[in-house]
Amino acid sequence: MGAQWKAKPKEAAANARGKIFGRLVKEIMIAARNGADPDMNPKLRLAVHQAKKASMPKDTLERAIKKGAGLLGETVNFERTTYEGFAPHQVPVIVECLTDNINRTVAEVRVLFRKGQMGASGSVSWDFDHVGLIEASPEGEADAELAAIEAGAQDFAEADEGNTLFITEITDLDAVSRALPEHGFTVNSAHIGYRPKNPVTTLSAEQLEEVEAFLEAIDAHDDVQNVYVGLAG
């Protein structure tokens, strides 16, 4: 959940935790529109799994499900929007938002892109694969390549802290997430996202700092759910 690029830990832990919960609550409410039973709703099941991994309080989780499913008499008006463009030094960026006011969000995101370049729909997404992304932790000597083959993933790559990123077809995300534990991997997060085809590898340390500062500002916006960047590493 959150940025494909990892922001530097500048916020206090409590504030960071609150932001993660806020993003997860939105995802749960959106998913629950299609039913409040996670066993019958794959998107909700994945969102609930991520909320539990993040140690979301049970009452917060249950309220988000009920609110999203319309069981509390409230209407959920969040809409999903995607913006594309470039960070400084022509690094491609895709920003996914959930918002209750698209006009406000697009105006604020446009301001955040002033240090880069905001593009039209399709301006950079052609340079990304739209895929399922599963980050999982190995148990013991679990073999990532074998697990990917057996679970039905398309590919895998190293992730942070010794984890493995499994890449799937969008339609296979739920099935692979369910299968990985049988092959020695604990799923930490699973969602549909973007993976760069040709990540930028030529930035100097100074240029990379500029890009990171730009991405931190984007990621800090309340409506931003995920940030994907065409940057190596």
pLDDT of residue 232: 84
Are β-strands 155-158 and 164-168 bridged in parallel, bridged antiparallel, or unpaired? Answer: antiparallel
pLDDT of residue 1: 44
pLDDT of residue 8: 54
Q: Domain coordinates of the chain in residue numbers?
A: 13-68, 79-126+199-229, 128-196
Report yes or no: 229 and 215 within 8 Å, Cβ to Cβ: yes
Is domain 128-196 classified as CATH 3.30.70.980?
yes
Backbone angles phi, psi at 229, to 5 degrees: -130, 140
Cα(207)–Cα(93) distance, integer angstroms:
15
Exposed, middle or buried: residue 27 (CB in 10 Å: 0-12, 13-18, 19+)?
buried
H or E element at residue 108: helix 102-112
Cα(147)–Cα(180) distance, integer angstroms:
7
pLDDT of residue 5: 56
Q: Look at domain 13-68 and name its CATH class.
A: mainly alpha
pLDDT profile of the chain (233 residues), mean per 10: 54 67 92 92 90 92 94 85 96 96 96 96 96 94 95 94 94 94 93 94 95 95 95 81
Dump pLDDT digits (tens) for 71-128. Answer: 988 777 889 999 999 999 999 999 999 999 999 999 999 999 999 999 999 999 999 9
Question: Residue 229's closest CA among 2, 35, 17?
Answer: 2
User: Structure tokens of 113?
Assistant: 């892109």
pTM: 0.84
One fold for 13-68 and 79-126+199-229: no
> Which of the following CATH numbers is that of domain 79-126+199-229: 3.20.20.70, 3.40.50.2300, 3.30.70.980, 3.90.1150.10?
3.30.70.980
Q: Please provide the DSSP assignment of 27-85 as one string.
A: HHHHHHTT-S-GGG-HHHHHHHHHHHHTT--HHHHHHHHHHHTTTTS-----EEEEEEE
